[in-house]
Structure 1
C-alpha cells in the first residue's frame, strides 16, 4: 500500500497540535524549511491541502481534519475526534434520512480520491445528521477493496483498476491518464515523439515495490505495451524522485494529483508518447449487504450525482 512515511505523519500530527510552523519546528528541534518540505511531500502524496496558510496560522483544512481523524482511527485505534466544521450544503440536497440512530458509514478510498469528493462528503453529512462518515485511507487496489468489503470493515470502496475486476462488481467513476515524465534535459524530453521501445531502453525511476501506485502503474504500462526494466531508483520520497528526474537519471510514470504536481515542477517535462497508455480507472464498489442499509446506498448514489 502507498503510505506516507512515519516521519511525515509525525510532523503532520505535531503541526496540527502546534498550530504554527515555527512552533512545530521548535518543538521538533528542526528547521522551518524541513517541516514545510515534509508537509508539502505529504500533501503531494495525498493529493490535497492539509493546512490553510502553512506559514501563517496553519489551520487545518476540512480535508486535513478528516485526514487527522482517519489516521487516528487507523493507526492508534483511539476514539473519534470532534467533527470538522462544515459549510452549508446546497439547497438541492435530499432531506435527512429517516430515523434517529446515528449510523456510521465507512468509506475506503485512496487519499487522492478522497480529495476529489471531500466537499460532497461534508455536504452529505450536513444534510444527513444521523449519518457519520468515517474513512479508511488504506484502500488502493481491487484486492484490498474486495477483502475489506467482504470482512465488513468498510461499506463503500473506491479503488484503482484497469477495467472492472471479474470477481468484484463495481461501477466506473472516472479515469486518470497515465503519463511519463523526465527531466527537461533528458534526451527523451527533447523528442517530438517517443516510442515505447525507446522507453524500455531508458532507465526507469519507481516507487517502492509494495507501493500500490507503482503496481497499478506498471500494470497499465504492460497492458499498453511497455515492459519496464529494473528501476535505477526505487523510492517513496517524491522529492528524491523529482531530484533524480531533474538530474536526467530516468523517466517516471504518474497519474492523478501526482502527475499534475510533476507537470508543474520546473525542470520536469511530460514525454510525448507515440501511443497513449491505458488510463487508470477509479471504480466504486459497495458491501454485499449495502441494500439493507439505506445510508450506504444513499451515500454511494450521492457521490455519483
Structure 2
C-alpha cells in the first residue's frame, strides 16, 4: 500500500470531490482517481459512492478513514524523527550510572533541564562493565572509572571522598582528617564493589595502612544512618544525610582524596555532538554544585 494513495483518499474524503482533492494535493484529477481505484483494489472494498456529482463515503470508507488519518500522522512522525536523527537531535536520551552517581549527580542535573531538552531515562549499573551498556542502547554513561579508548569521553567532575561523622563525634569541629587517624577509627565502609571503597583501600595500602572496617554496607544511605547513630565514621562520596559532618580525607602528602567522574558515548552515535554538549553541561553543573573536590 502506497502512502500516496492513502493521502489521495483522505484529501478527497475531506474535500468532497476528486477535483477539489486534486487541487489540495497539487496534482491532476486523473492521477487522483487512479490512486483511489488502486487503493480500493488493494483493500478489496469500495470507498466512495457517487451522488449528485459528489463523492460520498461508503460505510467501509467511513470505517477506514480514521485509520488512514492515523497512518498518515504516523508516517509524518517517522519523517520528523528521521530528520531529527539526520540533524543529530535527540528526543529521548538514556543515561546510565552507578546508584550514587545517579541519585546525587544525574538526578539533580536533570532537574535543571528545560522542556525542550531530550526526555531522559536514567538507569543504574554496576561500575564493572558499565561501559558495555553503550553497546546495548545507552546514549551516555557517567561513571567513576575511565572508559575504554574506543569511546569518546570527557571528565565531568572531581568529587571529594569524605569521612562523615555525627555532630557529637570528637572530630565534628574539624575540616579534614588524614589516613593515619582513620586507620584507628571505627570505619563504616561500603562493600568493595563500590568504586569509592576501592579508592579508599588503594590509598590506605599506598600509605602502608591496613583496612579493618567495623562494618560493611551495600547501601550508602544505610552506612550514613549507622554513622549518624554514633557507631563510627563512614567513608563515601555521597551527599551528606542525617545531619552528618563531612571531613575531607588527606593522604600522607596532604592531598585530598577525590573521585573523577567520566562521561562517555559512542563515537559513531548519530547525536554525538549533542551528547558532547550534554557532557559539557554536566561538567558546568557539577562545578557550580560541588566546586573542585565537592
Q: TM-score by structure 1 length?
A: 0.50
**1:299–1:99 Cα change, 3 Å:** same
Within the candidate set 147, 155, 159, 1:172 is matched to: 155
Does the alignment pair 1:281 with 2:260? yes
Q: CA deviation at 1:118?
A: 0.5
Q: CA deviation at 1:198?
A: 1.6
Does the alignment pair 1:116 with 2:108? yes
Q: TM-score by structure 2 length?
A: 0.51
Q: CA deviation at 1:176?
A: 1.4
Distance in 1, matches of 2:141 and 2:175, equals: 40
Distance in 2, matches of 1:229 and 1:146, equals: 29
- For 1:158, the equivalent position in structure 2 comes to 142
**1:216–1:153 Cα change, 3 Å:** farther
Distance in 2, matches of 1:192 and 1:157, equals: 33
**Superposed counterparts of 1:48-67, under 5 Å:** none
Aligned pair count? Answer: 190
Is the 1:199–1:226 Cα contact (8 Å) retained in structure 2? no
- For 1:54, the equivalent position in structure 2 comes to none
Greater radius of gyration (CA)? 2
Does the alignment pair 1:107 with 2:99? no
Distance in 2, matches of 1:169 and 1:297, equals: 11
**1:231–1:287 Cα change, 3 Å:** same
RMSD: 3.6
More strand by share: 2
Distance in 2, matches of 1:99 and 1:190, equals: 58
**1:277–1:156 Cα change, 3 Å:** same
Distance in 1, matches of 2:192 and 2:139, equals: 28
Within the candidate set 115, 129, 132, 1:144 is matched to: 129
Distance in 2, matches of 1:246 and 1:107, equals: 32
Q: CA deviation at 1:180?
A: 0.8
- For 1:39, the equivalent position in structure 2 comes to none
- 5+ residue gaps in structure 1? 1-95
Within the candidate set 225, 232, 241, 1:250 is matched to: 232
**Superposed counterparts of 1:1-305, under 5 Å:** 99=83, 104-109=92-97, 110-111=101-102, 112-119=104-111, 122-123=113-114, 126-127=115-116, 132-138=119-125, 141=127, 143-149=128-134, 151-161=135-145, 164-165=146-147, 167=149, 169-189=152-172, 194-210=177-193, 212-218=194-200, 221-222=203-204, 225=207, 227=209, 229-237=211-219, 240-255=222-237, 258-261=238-241, 265=243, 268-271=244-247, 273=249, 275-290=254-269, 293-294=270-271, 296-305=272-281
Is the 1:206–1:214 Cα contact (8 Å) retained in structure 2? no
**1:225–1:97 Cα change, 3 Å:** farther
Q: CA deviation at 1:187?
A: 4.2
Q: CA deviation at 1:281?
A: 1.5
- 5+ residue gaps in structure 2? 1-79, 282-294
SS of 2:144's equivalent in the other structure is: strand
